[in-house]
Amino acid sequence: MLRNLLIGLSIVVVTAGAAAAQTAAPAGGIKRTPLQDVKFPAGYHIVTVVAEIGPNQLAGRHTHPGVDTGYVLDGEATLLVEGQPDKMMKAGDSYAVPAGVPHDVKTGDKGLKLMAVYVVEDGKPVATPAPK
């Protein structure tokens, strides 16, 4: 069953990635392409998206009510996680941000495209702006 889930997720990611590659991220914002929202036991759900951020931008300091993990598909950026050293990311790198920890992403000259997976408590937003 896990094997089938992973194969299905791979197909969705490849298909969505090809569609998202046809349009660039907006100059002043983030483009999110939802891939799936899967109900999970104990009052959680798992949200998977492809996110694109244009060149030389900040995503905006924010938090998530659960773990934020992801994989960089294209471009490069610096992950700015409160209490941790800045982490340079490029295509092929993965990351994880603990629940509730303020963080931001600063893109480089090419912008950034990544697949993000969020574990979200039912009834809570995927992301919330964090004070500076």
6-16 per-position pLDDT tens digit = 333 333 333 33
Give residue 132's pLDDT: 80
Pairing state between β 30-40 and 103-121 = unpaired
Percent of residues, the chain, with pLDDT higher than 70: 79
CA angle 124, 72, 66 (to 5 degrees): 20
SS3 content of the chain, % helix, strand, coil (to 5): 15, 50, 35
CA–CA separation, 105 vs 107, rounded Å?
6
The tens digit of pLDDT for each residue in 60-102 reads 999 999 999 999 999 999 999 999 999 999 999 999 999 999 9
Taking all residues of the chain, what is their mean pLDDT, rounded to a whole number? Answer: 84
CA–CA separation, 41 vs 22, rounded Å?
35
